[in-house]
């Protein structure tokens, strides 16, 4: 019997479609508002991976018509200086979204910087006020990566109501908010993590399995129920025998693709969706400021 090959959930294609919609939305709003939406991405130090992410975000902003008001700070910038910059951006009428690029140098407290961002300008959707709105199923800016996962499932019309969803990973960035979003869609949700007993058994029960841990190829074919939907949020840089580095996810893609019905690739799955949702949050915040949304 030939190996079943899962259908690819193409996040890259959907992200491009969303960017096109946002571009049209920005064009029509700008004539009413008189300025473009603005996103300020703050980066501290010289982390090469962060520099690539920030460049990609700026390129995407440019495509959609969002003014990129980012700032790059030296490694030794103090907490007080950054908090002051965020306070100024909170007051700046040209800025609709503020984002602090992680990871930060060790001497800085990321949580306290996040709390300094005005909730309505929280482009990453991670401020406690916005997470509180999510818990209560109220409108608010949503965390970008989980929102990107939900948007991709919706695009491919994958039913969630009554389905068993297992989220592997409990971070505040992905695992916890994603579990809440799945609950909103009436899935039965289990969060699995490093202390979960019989992780293989728990995962094998899932109609929808989401890996968000940051461990290369943690999810094997033996952990996947035949015909399940598998979403890979992990992005890990690994080196092969020749010393060449490549990006892989938390899922053993080749093996799992033979068991699952749908699967996201890495790269080209959830990564582009995260950026698309960041742009979406910025445009949402921009239109709300003017009472248009």
Catalytic positions, written as ranges = 57, 101, 124
Residue 225, both tokens: 């129920």
Residues 6 or more apart whose Cβ sits within 8 Å of residue 166: 189, 190, 191, 192, 202, 203, 205, 206, 208, 209, 210
Contact 42, 79 (CB under 8 A): no
* Contact between 270 and 249 (Cβ < 8 Å): no
Partners of 135 in beta bridges: none
Whether 169 has a binding-site annotation, put simply, is yes
User: Which residue is associated with the tokens 């970008």?
Assistant: 144
Angle at CA of residue 87, ends 83 and 90, nearest 5°: 135
What are phi and psi for residue 210, nearest 5 degrees? -120, 125
Is residue 250 a contact partner of residue 215, using CB atoms and an 8 Å limit? yes
171 is in an annotated binding site: yes
Supply φ then ψ for residue 197, to 5 degrees: -85, 140
CB under 8 Å to 281, separation ≥6 — which residues? 97, 122, 123, 124, 125, 141, 142, 144
Give residue for tokens 């949700």: 189
The binding site comprises: 169-171, 235
The binding site for NADP(+) comprises: 169-171, 235
């Amino acid at each position: 019997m030939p190996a079943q090959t899962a259908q690819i959930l193409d996040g890259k294609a959907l992200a491009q479609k969303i960017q096109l919609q946002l571009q049209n939305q920005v064009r029509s709003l700008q004539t009413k508002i008189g300025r473009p939406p603005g996103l300020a991405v703050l980066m501290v130090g010289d982390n090469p991976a962060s520099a690539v992410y920030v460049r990609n975000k700026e390129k995407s902003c440019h495509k959609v018509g969002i003014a990129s008001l980012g700032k790059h700070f030296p490694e030794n910038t103090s907490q007080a200086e950054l908090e002051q910059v965020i306070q100024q951006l909170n007051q700046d009428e040209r800025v609709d979204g503020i984002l602090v690029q992680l990871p930060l140098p060790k001497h800085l407290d990321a949580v306290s910087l996040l709390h300094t961002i005005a909730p309505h300008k929280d482009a990453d959707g991670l401020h406690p006020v916005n997470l509180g709105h999510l818990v209560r199923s109220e409108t608010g800016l949503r965390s970008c990566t989980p929102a990107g996962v939900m948007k991709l499932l919706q695009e491919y019309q994958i039913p969630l109501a009554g389905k068993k969803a297992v989220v592997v990973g409990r971070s505040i960035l992905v695992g916890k908010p994603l579990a809440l979003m799945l609950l909103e869609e009436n899935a039965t949700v289990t969060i699995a993590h490093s202390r979960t007993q019989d992780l293989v058994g728990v995962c094998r029960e899932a109609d929808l399995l989401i890996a968000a841990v940051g461990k290369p190829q943690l999810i094997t074919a033996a952990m996947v129920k035949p015909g399940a939907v598998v979403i890979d949020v992990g992005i890990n840089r690994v080196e092969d025998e020749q010393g060449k580095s490549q990006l892989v996810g938390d899922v053993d893609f080749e093996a799992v693709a033979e068991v699952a019905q749908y699967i996201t690739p890495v790269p080209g799955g959830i990564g582009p969706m995260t950026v698309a949702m960041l742009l979406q949050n910025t445009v949402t915040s921009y239109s709300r400021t003017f009472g248009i949304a």
